[in-house]
Structure 1
């Protein structure tokens, strides 16, 4: 297992933010998804998020929904997601699963934690699960030394932010845009105050996500966040090349390289 804390420490030592890239498992198929995720690693991502496709993705915008539905139509199973984690984690890059809570409950919380840890996964990001409703997951994650990444948002009260960060391990996910992924672009006017409020409650790294599309945005957010999270822009790049996987992978690598260069332009705060 390679922990996210190690990746954040490395980025901090280099005077920059970490780049965190997201793609759903199983798009365009399981093997193709693994290849795409490894492309993110080779092109400069420090941490990888693997989405677990789900039929009711309340936070996901149309691009991620389309890719996830394609994976579901192709018959992807949770065991395929674990297999994908194992393949990506074998690169030495910290690899988390981002998932809604229902699939984990269906699979079995302890079983999921065990299989994720055995596959070399670093932990779990749970967008629809808050710490006060997560005792079973917190116990299982603690048992297997897995990261527990919960979300804070611009609407979070100071009390909720403090409660959330206290329960996190690995990093805190700051959702800098209200609404679904891939909507309005993240901006310093919203993300900056959220990061500042969150930093008052924790020494954990803070990753900013939702709405990051370009290297310029990555540079802007990387000036004050510890991590820049990109998902929809990467997924959309693959969706734009449905009949030419090689072209899709080349475009994916190009965008990731731009984002990786972006986080290196401005030093992140420690």
Structure 2
């Protein structure tokens, strides 16, 4: 799309402001439609101190997701969850307490077309977007459409991303840059990957845009370690495992609040 000014939207402005106040950013994840009362987890996460919330739009072939998120997606799809249903649930909540970031795969964007997809996100109160299988050199059209709709498209960078490409990803991302901690899928891990903080630090050397580190951040201790190199962390599989095991919003929120406290105590 031509003629679009690629300026940061409300998501990036919010994250920048919080980071510049000295706050370590925290973005938990929930699979949309995972339970009948799934939006109650949004409330619990906001109350626990989330700075933004990632909402997964389930896809039948989630190539970058590990066992837990795949199981969460399948559970949601088995309930008849759809993108339209998730966005209708979000729209019914009114103005979100914290910014919402949709995450999905490009097939779901293509199904309705980028313009209709991004317009539907914005109408539902979503201000950010992650498309896990969208490389930077193919992101131009969606980036322009998203910007026009007021949605910040965040791009991913991995430990294997070479420096020139890393600079391009950082320059073209909006909202934040998603630093992937390892070459692999999402999922809980016993220890934070050694490549995690190195990747985040490489990105931060070339941009002032917030850098959030995800994939495998599972405990408060790991979140604190991850935050040494990044502006914030993404917590996904560790939360969805609890939901899949039957934990309600208050219990999962309490777990997230412990991570929030640990991050606050380090600053």
TM norm. shorter chain > 0.5: yes
CA deviation after TM superposition for structure 1 residue 134, in Å: 1.9
CA deviation after TM superposition for structure 1 residue 122, in Å: 0.9
Contact 1:2–1:89 (Cα < 8 Å) also in 2:
no
How many residue pairs match? The answer is: 259
Q: What are structure 1's unaligned runs of at least 5 residues?
A: 242-246
CA deviation after TM superposition for structure 1 residue 123, in Å: 1.6
Tell me: CA distance 1:202–1:89, structure 2 relative to 1, closer, same or farther (3 Å).
Answer: farther
Is 1:12 aligned to 2:16, yes or no?
no
Contact 1:4–1:94 (Cα < 8 Å) also in 2:
no
1-structure distance, mates of 2:98, 2:125: 10
Structure 1 residues 127-142: aligned runs within 5 Å = 127-142=132-147
1-structure distance, mates of 2:236, 2:165: 25
Is 1:154 aligned to 2:159, yes or no?
yes
Tell me: CA distance 1:77–1:93, structure 2 relative to 1, closer, same or farther (3 Å).
Answer: same
Please, which of 189, 194, 206 is the counterpart of residue 189 of structure 1?
Answer: 194
Contact 1:2–1:93 (Cα < 8 Å) also in 2:
no
CA deviation after TM superposition for structure 1 residue 221, in Å: 1.7
2-structure distance, mates of 1:266, 1:89: 34
2-structure distance, mates of 1:118, 1:184: 36
Tell me: CA distance 1:88–1:211, structure 2 relative to 1, closer, same or farther (3 Å).
Answer: farther
Q: What are structure 2's unaligned runs of at least 5 residues?
A: 1-8
Tell me: CA distance 1:174–1:164, structure 2 relative to 1, closer, same or farther (3 Å).
Answer: same
2-structure distance, mates of 1:226, 1:89: 28
1-structure distance, mates of 2:189, 2:256: 20
Is 1:251 aligned to 2:258, yes or no?
no
CA deviation after TM superposition for structure 1 residue 86, in Å: 3.0
Please, which of 82, 85, 98 is the counterpart of residue 80 of structure 1?
Answer: 85
Tell me: CA distance 1:239–1:25, structure 2 relative to 1, closer, same or farther (3 Å).
Answer: same
CA deviation after TM superposition for structure 1 residue 87, in Å: 4.9
SS in 2 for 1:103: helix
Structure 1 residues 19-168: aligned runs within 5 Å = 19-29=26-36, 32-87=37-92, 90-168=95-173
CA deviation after TM superposition for structure 1 residue 88, in Å: 5.9
SS in 2 for 1:218: helix
Q: What TM-score comes out, normalization by structure 2 length?
A: 0.91
CA deviation after TM superposition for structure 1 residue 259, in Å: 1.1
Structure 1 stretch displaced more, 165-174 or 33-42: 33-42
1-structure distance, mates of 2:213, 2:19: 15
SS in 1 for 2:207: coil
2-structure distance, mates of 1:204, 1:2: 13
